[in-house]
Amino acid sequence: MRHIPVIVVAGTHSGCGKTTLASGLMAALAARGLAVQPFKVGPDFIDPTHHSAICGRTSRNLDPFMMGEAGVRETFVRATAGADIAVVEGAMGLFDGLEGTDTASTAHVAKILDAPVLLVVDAGGASRSVHAMIRGYAGFDPAVRVAGTILNRIGSPRHLAMIEETKSLPVYGGIPRRTDLAVESRHLGLAMAAETGMMARFGAVVEETCDLSGIIDLARSAPPLPAPAGIPGLPEAEVRIGVARDAAFCFYYADNLDRLVRAGAEPVFFSPMTDRLPDADALYLGGGYPELHAEALSSSRCREDVRSAVDDGMPVYAECGGLVYLTERLTTGEGDHPMAGVLPAATEMTGRIQALGYVEARVAGAAPVLAPGSAFRGHEFHYSRLDCARDARFALELLRGRGIDGGRDGLIAQNAVGQYTHAYFPEGFAERLVEAAGAYRRT
């Protein structure tokens, strides 16, 4: 068994200040010299970048839909090795799960970890009524231990005193309104951590206004979890897999990259905006913001390198932004931008969400990096759409989700496949990509 203090920071609803408070708590704990292991509930890619920058440890996603309950526990226990405390930032409202159920909600994760929940409540415009909301959340599911609250957007000391006249759960802090510490948003969420250091600055606010020692004691009340089976030593790298990672391609699940390493791959990170294609045996192109960097991507010689590599038979796996990059062109408000020209489709950015939600997929077509008949789960969130050639071939049949054309995903060209789905790699997926890379290397 391994005991690690853990606290789940949940919100009553989206926009209540949960992300800012969770990040501020991480920063305050780190400032006290603690090794803080951050986590994020759900398939979010952006909030974890802030966590990682603040804590100096890679933030991990915890998602029971994609990972399964055992996978959540395993990732949690493995990632907390060497940490003093874990902070889990929730998603949406505490009880908001898949299609109105408990599945994959913050409450679901809290129950899997048997962790205490610190509820962030937006107290703006209310006083005694706040306790009616707190008591509703605390009593809604007896299996969820809502152990305390942080009151956000407090207008004044008198406002906080009025709320504290009535008792419900212990209050661990009252955060004043701070419009000067807002983080800019864009169409897929907040700005990435590399673009702003604002979240870390909230640590001083948490230290000043919250009972940090009390929160640490609350985190210590979490019971120990079973330790995972021993991790075998990492194999010697058999292949090199080029991984696009820059401002245009920045959406990756940390567990996926770890699985590639454990399968025998050496990730070689590069920027398609500024670098030539590295010496690699396969490519992994993640999601991100190619639309914000379309001019740089189109003017870089890397797109020609990628096309030549695919023509040569190199296996390529691409998700969302990577899919867009592999198409023939990307149309934005600034015009048409040539892309790699690998997949028989053109991409257009739209003014509204084209798909958002969980995905279940089955491999129904031939693709070198996807085992026929295999299944995986993931998530999609994009504002673009593809216009595909009439004879376009697809690798994936979707049981849930929209994909490229409302039921199919995974556009194929030679040994390349591009899909809107951000997949959480199932068992065997990384090994198959490494195997395909090795076959290409031998030729």
| C-alpha span between 415 and 379 (Å, rounded) | 23
Q: What secondary structure letter does DSSP report for 367?
A: B
The DSSP bridge partners found for residue 415 are none
* Pair of tokens at residue 369: 């990096």
Q: Is 250 a catalytic residue?
A: no
Are the C-beta atoms of residues 385 and 348 closer than 8 Å to each other? yes
Are the C-beta atoms of residues 405 and 365 closer than 8 Å to each other? no
Q: Out of 16, 210, 250, 320, which one is annotated catalytic? A: 320
| C-alpha span between 410 and 320 (Å, rounded) | 10
Element (H, E) at 202: helix 198-209
| C-alpha span between 57 and 36 (Å, rounded) | 7
Q: How large is the greatest C-alpha to C-alpha distance in the chain, in angstroms? A: 75
Question: Which 3 state secondary structure label does DSSP give 249?
Answer: strand
Q: What is the identity of the amino acid at 412?
A: I
Number of residues written out for the chain? 443
Are the C-beta atoms of residues 60 and 75 closer than 8 Å to each other? yes
Are the C-beta atoms of residues 180 and 201 closer than 8 Å to each other? no
Residue of 110, 149, 108 lying closest to 17 (CA atoms): 149
For tokens 């890397």, the residue is 302
Element (H, E) at 395: strand 393-400
Residue of 138, 50, 63 lying closest to 94 (CA atoms): 138
User: Using CB atoms within 10 A of its CB, is residue 99 exposed (0-12), middle (13-18) or buried (19+)?
Assistant: exposed
Strands 422-424 and 375-382 come out as antiparallel
Element (H, E) at 242: strand 239-244
3-state secondary structure 107-164: HHHHHHHCCCEEEEEECCCCCCHHHHHHHHHHHHCCCCCEEEEEEEEECCHHHHHHHH
| Cα pseudo-dihedral 18, 20, 23, 28, rounded to 10 | -110
| C-alpha span between 164 and 144 (Å, rounded) | 24
Provide the annotated active-site residues: 320
